[in-house]
Amino acid sequence: MEMLIIQIDDDGFPVDTLLLDVEFDKEGKPILEPGLVPSHKPEEIFHKPRYDKTLCIWVEGASKEEIDAIREHNKPQPSEIDRLKARLETAEMALISLMDFL
């Protein structure tokens, strides 16, 4: 049966993705060469997937700082219209303050 297989490095991080014809043992687990593991499930979302060889599962490989940096980088930026609205509001407030002063 063809299966999506991930080649991992010594630390468990993906190196390559392969589509291989795989045989299974009596328990239904794929028989794979060392350094090859089944792909993680589509519903499992990782910022930096890492295969834990002890637990035989995919885990989050990114540190909290790396995840925070990724989220900050992907944070939606205000549109040009939103920036112009903010500038207009600031100018209106300044004009109102100036009118009150006079």
Q: What is the DSSP string of 9-35?
A: -TTS-EEEEEEEE-EE-TTS-EE--TT
> What DSSP line would sit under 56-96, residue for residue?
TEEEE-S-HHHHHHHHHHHSPPPPHHHHHHHHHHHHHHHHH
Reported as a pLDDT band with limits 50, 70 and 90, residue 95 is confident
Give me the pLDDT at residue 62, please: 93
Domain boundaries along the sequence of the chain: 2-62
pLDDT at residue 13 greater than cutoff 80:
yes
pTM for the whole thing? 0.65
